[in-house]
């Protein structure tokens, strides 16, 4: 984890980000703006996006100072966070490209990186050095501006996947912004990021959603849901996340997701065979391996 930190007198010379723009002022983008405001490291905050109602609500909540177009955000901001579903990132970058200030830095919060980088290269062309890919490992099942939380990123990890073209000043600006939100920051290769996150972030959501869909469409769904307890609640919590966002993540990280699905299917096949054959020893081995690994995981 990167050991850099903000000096205690950072605010004496003005905020780190005089003009911040957030594209997509929901849980992720709104929390970034709120976190930087709380730290005294954001001056004026601009909000942009396709949902006028969300922007109006973000204004009411004080998450942003002004709602602007993508083009105006590009022209005025010192740092722009794109917190939109990854499927819409290329279009947003294309619209902003011609309006970007020479020193404006762009970053994103997308949960996949290889396809995002490819889309950014196609959209930005010779302005690609201004884009620093990123991914905060934080979230919740809540959505919209009301879900924004200034402390969402505190003690969380943010992964940056720097490009060869990125200059030191652009990287430093993005890194320090996340540090100001209370995050730790690490660097990874984009492909390695996608492979690992498919396993520990993306697949859990797919499994939770698939199971919830199976229960919800059963003939006796009402009875099942009436009798469901804390285990059901905990396992299905993340299925309530944004369908549009997760659809884009699964498709963007297609190859890694298919590999992880195949891996889980193989374990399910073993469990199915053990149950069908009455093989208690095989079933116990599987359950003990899982229980031991979970108990040894000390993230809580």
**What CATH number did the domain enclosing 279 receive?**
1.10.3660.10
Phi, psi at 243, each rounded to 5°: -60, -40
Establish if 15 belongs to a structural domain: yes
Question: By the 8 A CB rule, do 188 and 114 touch?
Answer: no
Residue 110 pLDDT grade (very low, low, confident, very high; cuts 50, 70, 90): very high
Domain match, 244 and 173 both: no
Domain match, 129 and 255 both: no
Here the CATH number for the domain that contains residue 71 is 3.40.50.720
- Tens of pLDDT, residues 154-163: 999 999 999 9
pLDDT number for residue 86: 85
pLDDT, mean of residues 106-113? 95
Establish if 5 belongs to a structural domain: no
Tally Cβ neighbours within 10 Å of residue 136: 24
In percent, the amount of the chain with pLDDT more than 70 equals: 95
Domain match, 218 and 170 both: no
Domain match, 184 and 199 both: no
- Tens of pLDDT, residues 237-295: 999 988 988 998 999 999 999 999 999 999 999 999 999 999 999 999 999 999 999 99
Question: By the 8 A CB rule, do 74 and 100 touch?
Answer: yes
User: Is the pLDDT score of 10 beyond 50?
Assistant: no
User: Is the pLDDT score of 80 beyond 70?
Assistant: yes
pLDDT, mean of residues 211-216? 97
Establish if 153 belongs to a structural domain: yes
Which is it for the CA torsion 276, 225, 144, 139, positive or negative?
A: negative
What global pTM score does this model have?
0.84
pLDDT number for residue 5: 40
Tally Cβ neighbours within 10 Å of residue 185: 21
pLDDT number for residue 244: 87
pLDDT, mean of residues 165-177? 97
Q: Which domain holds residue 106?
A: 10-188
Domain match, 232 and 268 both: yes
Q: Which two tokens stand for residue 10?
A: 């950072």
Establish if 1 belongs to a structural domain: no
Question: Shortest CA distance to 187 belongs to which of 227, 135, 226?
Answer: 135
- Domain end among 142, 161, 188: 188
Domains held by the chain: number: 2
Establish if 2 belongs to a structural domain: no
- What is the average pLDDT value for the chain, to the nearest integer? 93
User: Is the pLDDT score of 26 beyond 60?
Assistant: yes
Establish if 66 belongs to a structural domain: yes
Establish if 173 belongs to a structural domain: yes
- Domain end among 134, 156, 188: 188
Question: By the 8 A CB rule, do 108 and 83 touch?
Answer: yes
pLDDT number for residue 105: 98
Question: By the 8 A CB rule, do 209 and 239 touch?
Answer: yes
Q: How far apart are CA 239 and CA 143, in angstroms?
A: 12
Domain match, 144 and 120 both: yes
Output 121 or 12, whichever has higher pLDDT: 121
- Tens of pLDDT, residues 269-280: 999 999 999 999
Question: By the 8 A CB rule, do 120 and 129 touch?
Answer: no
**What's the chain's length in residues?**
300
Establish if 4 belongs to a structural domain: no
Domain match, 149 and 86 both: yes
């Amino acid at each position: 984890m990167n050991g850099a930190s903000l000096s205690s007198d950072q605010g004496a010379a003005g905020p780190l980000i005089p003009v911040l723009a957030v594209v997509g002022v929901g849980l992720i983008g709104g929390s970034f703006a709120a976190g930087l405001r709380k730290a005294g490291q954001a001056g004026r905050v601009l909000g942009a996006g396709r949902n006028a109602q969300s922007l109006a609500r973000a204004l009411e909540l004080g998450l942003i100072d002004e709602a602007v177009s993508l083009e105006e955000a590009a022209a005025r901001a010192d740092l722009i966070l794109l917190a939109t579903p990854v499927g819409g990132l290329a279009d947003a970058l294309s619209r902003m490209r011609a309006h970007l200030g020479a020193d404006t830095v762009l970053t994103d919060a997308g949960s996949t990186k290889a396809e995002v980088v490819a889309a950014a290269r196609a959209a930005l062309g010779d302005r690609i050095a201004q884009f620093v890919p990123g991914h905060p490992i934080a979230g919740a099942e809540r959505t919209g501006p009301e879900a924004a939380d200034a402390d969402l990123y505190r003690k969380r990890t943010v992964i940056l996947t720097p490009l060869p073209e990125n200059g030191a000043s652009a990287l430093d600006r993005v890194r320090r912004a996340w540090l100001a939100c209370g995050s730790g920051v690490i660097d990874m290769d984009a492909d390695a990021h996608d492979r690992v996150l498919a396993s520990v972030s993306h697949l859990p959501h797919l499994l939770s959603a698939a199971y919830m869909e199976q229960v919800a469409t059963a003939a006796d769904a009402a009875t099942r849901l009436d009798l469901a307890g804390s285990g059901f609640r905990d396992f299905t919590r993340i299925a309530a996340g944004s369908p549009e966002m997760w659809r884009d993540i699964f498709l963007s990280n297609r190859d890694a997701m298919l590999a992880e699905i195949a891996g889980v299917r193989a374990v399910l096949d073993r469990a199915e065979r053990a149950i069908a054959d009455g093989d208690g020893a095989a079933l116990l081995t599987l359950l003990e391996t899982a229980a031991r690994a979970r108990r040894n995981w000390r993230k809580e």
